Amino acid sequence: MGRILSLDYGRKRTGVAVTDPLKIIATGLTTVRTHDLLKFIEDYTGRESVELIVIGLPKQTNNELSENERYISQFINTLTKKMPHLKIERYDERFTSVMAHQAMIAGGLKKKDRQNKELVDEISATIILQGYLESKK
């Protein structure tokens, strides 16, 4: 049984979250420079069994894809060529950054800590993964 890895892909940084081996709980893993993301995934999947990668689908409020989608599509093409055995699914990531900030406030983080964009990306990846898991129940 493999884990599910989730990515909140950004041009500079990508938030990463992962499930436990039983695929019950989504947990923030890290934030990676997008330039290093492919290497990170290769290293991580070499250490851990991963059966699926869920990548955020960036839609705008009018349901159209955002500008970032073209970069995500390029990354997915590269990832698929490099690691064709990995299954990839997409999940709507609308409002995950807003939800991440709300979670940080609810968690009692100070304003300075809430301005940490890397933490926001990691929490966003966790929200994407948790939403994906709930959609499959």
Q: What is this structure's pTM? A: 0.87
Tell me the domains of the chain and their CATH numbers: 3-135 (3.30.420.140)
Q: Residue 45: is its pLDDT beyond 90?
A: yes
Tens of pLDDT, residues 51-96: 999 999 988 778 888 888 999 999 999 999 999 999 999 998 866 6
83-135 tens-digit pLDDT: 999 999 999 886 666 666 676 677 776 777 667 778 788 888 999 999 999 88
* Residue 29 in this model has a pLDDT that exceeds 80: yes
- Order of strands across the sheet that contains 3-8: 26-33, 13-19, 3-8, 50-57, 87-92
